[in-house]
Amino acid sequence: MAVAKKIQIYDTTLRDGCQSEDVSLTVEDKLEIAARLDDLGIDYIEGGWPGSNDRDAAFFREVKKLRLRHARIAAFGSTRRANARASADRNLALLLRAETPVATVVGKTWDMHVREALRISNQANLDILHDTIAYLKRHADEVIFDAEHFFDGIAANPEFALACLRAVDSAGADLIALCDTNGGRLPHEIEAGVRAAIEAVRCPLGIHSHNDSEVAVANAIAAVRSGAVQVQGTINGLGERCGNANLVSIIPDLQLKLGYQCVPPAKLKTLREVSMLVYELANITPHTRQAYVGHSAFTHKAGLHVSGIQRSVHTYEHIDPAAVGNDRHVVLSELSGRANILYKSKEFGLDIEPDNEKIGVLLDELKRLEALGYTFDGADASFELLMLRTLGFTRDHFRFVSFRVFDDKWHEDQTPFSEAVVVIEGPDGVRTRNSATGNGPVNALDSALRGALVPYYPALEAMQLADYKVRVLDNGAGTAARVRVLIESTDGRRRWGTVGLSSNVVEASWQALIDSVEFKLHKDAARPRNVKHPPGNGARPPRERAPLRNGVAARP
């Protein structure tokens, strides 16, 4: 049996994707995405431009702590300036200071850019390319050259464009990525350009295409079929202007349709999860009709279609949706989603029989919550708790009684502050009242809740919020709109996400906070220690109980 040819996948979501006008990722977001890309089996992760901003510099410091198992981290920069040697160029020094195994630099290959943007001679540009790559090769394990505007350059002046590639090749570049930077070239032009480049240089080639003509994915595939061995792109096609080549489409196109090896087949099933995570962390509403991973990608409504798939799913589906982690949906009909639940149960280490009647209950609850506006993409901890509670595999570690939040600003020049009062019923049945101040209502609630619980569960002392996002769901409802809150928490050993939903942002935040605490206690298999009351800063002895919600994280 022939071994499938390997195509390297180079992800630039954390750099090129962040150039989208509506995307801003925190360092924590970028680290979480990097970890998920590594788990997916991505070969290269471009983390950013270390010389451009403090956030990217921080990412390169922190990513070393992730201990990635597969992906190689790349730092991005540009070739040296025209008036300085590479060894004295500040941007190259910052690039190397990131201490990544891969250094990627972009340089000019279109004579118009050399003439109009750099205002130097063609020969001077060739010197810049050779000097930059030769210098980096002496200090970096692997050097990739992004040939900016190559396809425009070879159309305008093929001799010069190919000379640029030869200059880089002779300097020792490990790979040259041919860039359709303006996104204006069509597949037949990409094919011709790749074939010409293959004849001109010895080093392997990659493709970096933009989507301004809506053919970035097609151009990437055309390049691979013409001999490119690496594809650069972003998750969900994020990028400047119309975006970059969408790796979420390219990976299954190459692997499922053309037989190339991009990521491990078992990891391909997590493709939708990765796509939805990036949407959530970027605070972008997922594209429901996105190929392969969109909610509507395998949704059937027409009677003819539904009738067809009931006889054979191949009648109206080009692949098995499970291959990319998606599900089949039939409007006004019902098809099983048990396989998805069983898959997640194994991921959570649960042994559930396929005919367990509670799986149907869980599916119904998921549908109800999704109809309300919940999403569990990026909130795996909330989903795991929902599954555990529905299937009877967990217990509540405390009961919520009440909370109050006060926001105060006593004069115009004062910074507002918040105070929260939380009342919970501990595992010993005693009610505890605890208050705390914070720089906002969520921070105050978090401090008050954990302050009430730490006497019972000391491990909560190490827990803290790592990120907090709010998304408005009802665009036309103004300040009365429902909001979805995504909270990311950490205890120094792991990170997890939880979700809440309400028309009140504090209530939505509270739901996510409760789940976050319960998830840690569950994962720690926490057992309460004996508490000599009063704990916290205002415990009161038991009194007649007020009506309580059925479960600490019951949903509306």
CA distance 556 to 483: 13
pLDDT at 540: 38
Place of tokens 């979501």: 13
Residues of the chain with pLDDT under 50: 331-336, 538-556
CA distance 333 to 539: 53
User: What residues have CB less than 8 Å from 212, skipping those under 6 apart?
Assistant: 182, 183, 184, 241, 242
DSSP class of 210 = B
298-335 matches 8-281 in CATH topology:
no
CA dist list (Å): 152 to 179, 322, 498 = 9, 40, 47
pLDDT at 295: 83
pLDDT at 45: 98
pLDDT at 431: 93
Q: pTM for the complete prediction? A: 0.66
CA atoms within 13 A on the CB side of 62: 17
Place of tokens 């029989």: 353
pLDDT at 544: 32
> Hey, what amino acid is at 66?
L
Q: Where are the beta strands (DSSP E) in 456-550?
A: 464-472, 483-490, 495-502
Two structure tokens written together for 66: 């992730």
Cα angle value 188/189/194 (rounded, 5°): 100
CATH tag, 8-281: 3.20.20.70
Ordered by start, the domain boundaries in the chain are 8-281, 298-335
Buried b (16+ CB within 10 A) or exposed e, 417-442: bbbbbbbbbbbeebbbbbbbebebbb
Two structure tokens written together for 43: 């070969």
pLDDT at 147: 98
The CATH number corresponding to 298-335 among 3.40.1670.10, 3.40.50.150, 4.10.430.20, 3.40.50.1370 equals: 4.10.430.20
CB atoms within 10 A of CB 364: 11
Instruction: Please tell me whether the peptide bond between 264 and the residue prior to it is cis, using omega within 30 degrees of 0.
Output: no
pLDDT at 475: 65
Helix (H, G, I), strand (E, B) or coil at 193: helix
